[in-house]
Amino acid sequence: MFLTRLISGIVLLAIALLTMSLGGIPLAATLFVISLIACRELTKALMCATDAKKLNTLEIIGIFGVVVYYGVLYFLGEPVWLLMVIVGVFLAEMFVYVFTFPRFQANQVMASVFSFLYAPVMLSFVYLTRSTPQGIYMVWMILISSWGCDTCAYAVGKLIGRKKIFPVLSPHKSLEGCIGGVLGSALIGGLYGYFLVEEVFPDQRVTWILAFICGMGAVMSMVGDLAASAIKRNHNIKDYGKLIPGHGGIMDRFDSMIVTAPMTYFLTILLLKM
């Protein structure tokens, strides 16, 4: 099991490194596929899906929304158009709810909208971050904040973890591990900034800014991880899927990155002069 998980992790990391380095179509296309799968995993977990193999009308609108959203993201990229797509998906779901009543329950409609917003829209901030003027440098903070935090938290938790901070939601998470994850991400972010990014911003000291962004991103990554776990516990499922050997589904592996990406994007825009 450990070897399978390790190999899958290496493959995922290689894909992330390649697509984030290239940006453009490779990154947009990868995020698009991930978003489609994650959206379907969520609708099934939240019981919006009425058939494990067949999409219902609410899901079709959500999937169509993902297609349109990523098309607008790549070809137009203007926030007003992206917001228009988001509102359009919401209104379309409400339209179906009203005109097919009582075919769907309110919780199914809310689950469908949530599934569209949670994974596809939030993950699109990876592309938006990469598309900023210095995005080739900034986008790596998303990985540092999410996967870096996971690694540091796991290592510290194994070594000195004692106090269980979420005994019901996540029995294996310790306070020491959480602190280690945040501090470890901040340290890696600071080192990354000092050795690789400082020269890109000659008029600004970015080391502490990147350390702060990665530290805050690490906090959000743990929230994302725990939120995804809470959904699984609420609905009595072990994994969101079986696509990634040793990890589960897309949501099981990208749960932390989903919330880290927008945090990194907004803090980058606010704190760095680009």
pTM of the model: 0.94
In whole angstroms, what is the distance from residue 148 CA to residue 142 CA? Answer: 9
233 CB neighbour count, 10 Å cutoff:
13
Length of the chain: 274
Can you tell me the mean pLDDT for 178-205? 92
In whole angstroms, what is the distance from residue 180 CA to residue 150 CA? Answer: 10
Can you tell me the mean pLDDT for 189-216? 92
Sorted by where each begins, the domain ranges of the chain are 1-131, 133-274
Model pLDDT for residues 89-146, shown as the tens digit of each residue: 999 999 999 999 999 999 999 999 999 999 999 999 999 999 999 999 999 999 999 9
Band of residue 147 on the pLDDT scale cut at 50, 70, 90: confident
